[in-house]
């Protein structure tokens, strides 16, 4: 798969709330670092993170723009509740090796009626 195809498949699996399917898109030693948390390291830990998040809230990624620059892809997104953010994915040999996400956690918690930490 090309880097863009990997990202498009990531969006499909994310919107299907499929932590196992998402984990398959990550390199065994991948890092997922969301601005709101410490980095998550390794495919198994990333799968567990998605499983926890999908259990806590219904999340939907609606792409607004995808910007490609070789092995790095930037995704600008929104969700149906109005939250917006962006993610940067480094994809090598058809697998995500690094992901960085930027979004407002407080807004997310409020929009989903979750406890504010």
For position 98, what pLDDT does the model report?
98
CA dihedral 64, 28, 90, 34 (to 10 degrees): 60
Q: Which two tokens stand for residue 60?
A: 């939907």
**pTM (2 d.p.):** 0.90
Is the pLDDT at 108 greater than 70, yes or no? no
**Is the distance from CB of 93 to CB of 5 less than 8 angstroms?**
no
Nearest residue to 59 (alpha-carbon basis) of 96, 107, 16? 16
For position 84, what pLDDT does the model report?
87
For position 5, what pLDDT does the model report?
95
Nearest residue to 1 (alpha-carbon basis) of 59, 73, 50, 55? 73
All domains of the chain, ordered by start, with CATH?
3-111 (3.10.450.50)
CA dist., res. 70 & res. 90, Å (int):
9
Digit-coded pLDDT (tens) for 28-63: 999 999 988 899 999 999 999 999 999 988 989 999
């Amino acid at each position: 798969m090309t880097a863009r195809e990997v990202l498009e498949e990531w969006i499909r699996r994310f919107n299907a709330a499929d932590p196992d399917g998402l984990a398959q898109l990550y390199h065994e030693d991948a890092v997922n670092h969301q601005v709101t948390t410490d980095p998550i390291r390794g495919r198994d830990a990333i799968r567990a993170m998605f499983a926890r998040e999908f259990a806590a809230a219904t999340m939907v990624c609606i792409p607004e723009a995808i910007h490609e620059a070789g092995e790095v892809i930037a995704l600008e997104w929104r969700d149906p509740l109005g939250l917006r953010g962006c993610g940067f994915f480094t994809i090598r040999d058809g697998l995500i090796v690094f992901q960085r996400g930027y979004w407002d956690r407080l807004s997310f918690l409020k929009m989903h009626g979750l406890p504010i930490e």
